[in-house]
Amino acid sequence: MKVLVLAALLAVAYAKHEEYIGWKSYYIGVTTDEQVKALAPLVDAYELDFIGHPTLNREGLVLVKPQYQAAFIQDADAAGISYRIHVDDVKRALDYDDQLIDAQKRSSLARNGGRQLPYDNYQELDVIDDYLDYIGEKYPDVATVVSPAKSFDGHPIKYVKISTTNFEDETKPVIIIDGGIHAREWISPPSVTWAIHKLVEDVTENDLLERFDWILLPVVNPDGYKFSHTTNRFWRKTRSTNSTVASQLCPGVDGNRNFDFVWNTIGTSSNPCSDIYAGPYAFSEIETRVVRDILYENLARTALYLTMHSFGSMILYPWGHDGSLSSNALGLHTVGVAMVNAIEAEALPYFPRYVVGNSALVIKYYIAGSSEDYAHYIGVPLSYTYELPGVSSTGNGFHLDPQYIEQVCRETWEGIVVGARRAGDLFPKPQD
């Protein structure tokens, strides 16, 4: 019997990630605007999947299917676009990631007395949801768990409201942080749950509770997040379908293209099979409507909105659809630089240094319908995308190594602390 069980487990392990047999990933670099323009048509032609976009003088990371690899290399050479192999066997790299995650899980369970924490490993959705419920039950005086809706597949979309005054003090600015809108960006939810931990369980910055009310949503896209754990590691979108054949064949919408600001005009797709499919209409997804409603319900008091993504070590601000600067660009940049400085004071020396700037100008890639742009468009004065560190330091996998998750959470928290304080200083004071 033991032999049969072992054989079954090995068969499951072997079968995992089979859809990525033959895929390769490449570091890719661009140094001129002409190379950026030359790269754009290759994305659709060869179904390139960017895990991290290249910026001028900073490499990105792209997945390439077996049938397109030779043509991709030929066209990259012709355009003078630099590339080098990241991993030559994507399935093997994902298997390697799984081994690291399993080892981290065993270590964490031993260290935490059998308890799984949502910020020291890449945890399943249930672990994150259970943690939010635990926070609400143990700290009812400051933390309230809200589940305003269920996802397409029926998972509760949960967030935590943290306040010493039950959100009844209208003079307190609100800070909103979300994560997990892109399912595969697994470092994103831990950064949000760590912020919850620091605001409720391990409070070292008392002024952040006294001055602000907080809303923290670790997993905007629970369906996609769960699917990325169980079925397809690089799943990015939601999991919704509609009555059309295309939707049935290719479920899901890119949540960060689904917000109602210059929706589906640039950097998006109308093809349901695309990873950047903007959806049949703006706010077609219950997940993005939840974020929209949180923003609107607290709009008069919201001083800062942060959405956590990976990877790239960047802090980006509007406008991402055309590269123009907001009327509040000076404030956005000044606070962004302050957050970066705080992060880098805690960062490991061999991690990439952070870049701060306008989304489109930094990554040389325009997108419409993002939550960052939408929040700023409706009136949030300071709105940012955090692109967290996210690739394996060993070069063998696609995750930030699990041993560094808590480090990234700690340094990201330092950026949040400074961002909140600067946002509070800049936010208009109520009139007597």
Task: Give the tens place of pLDDT for each residue, 26-83.
Answer: 999 999 989 989 998 998 899 999 988 888 778 889 999 999 999 999 999 999 999 9
Q: Which residue numbers are catalytic?
A: 387
Alpha carbons 339 and 412: distance in angstroms, whole number:
9
Residue 427 pLDDT greater than 70, yes or no: yes
103-109-112-118 Cα dihedral, nearest 10 degrees: 80
User: Residues 112-131: pLDDT tens digits?
Assistant: 888 889 999 999 999 999 99
Quote the pLDDT of residue 299: 97
Quote the pLDDT of residue 396: 56
Q: Are the C-beta atoms of 282 and 259 separated by less than 8 Å?
A: yes
Residue 72: name the closest of 104, 100, 49 by CA.
Answer: 49
Alpha carbons 382 and 328: distance in angstroms, whole number:
8
If you average pLDDT over residues 148-159, what whole number do you get? 98
H/E stretch holding 230: helix 222-230
Neighbours of 50 (CB within 10 A): 17
Alpha carbons 13 and 1: distance in angstroms, whole number:
18
Cα 294–297–303 angle (5° rounding)?
A: 80
CA distances from 45 to 70, 110, 389 (A): 13, 48, 28
pTM of the full predicted structure? 0.94
User: Residues 127-146: pLDDT tens digits?
Assistant: 999 999 999 999 999 999 99
Tell me what percent of the residues of the chain surpass a pLDDT of 90: 78
β-sheet bridge partners, residue 61: 27, 52
Tell me what percent of the residues of the chain surpass a pLDDT of 70: 94
Per DSSP, which regions of 318-431 are E strands? Answer: 355-358, 382-388
With both helix axes pointing from N to C terminus, report the angle between 188-200 and 125-138 in degrees, rounded to the nearest 10: 10
**Residue found under tokens 């070292």:** 204
Alpha carbons 336 and 416: distance in angstroms, whole number:
10
Relative to beta strand 382-388, strand 314-317 is antiparallel
Phi then psi dihedrals of residue 130, to 5 deg: -65, -35
Alpha carbons 256 and 404: distance in angstroms, whole number:
26
Domains in the chain, ordered, with CATH? Answer: 23-88 (3.30.70.340), 113-233+255-426 (3.40.630.10)
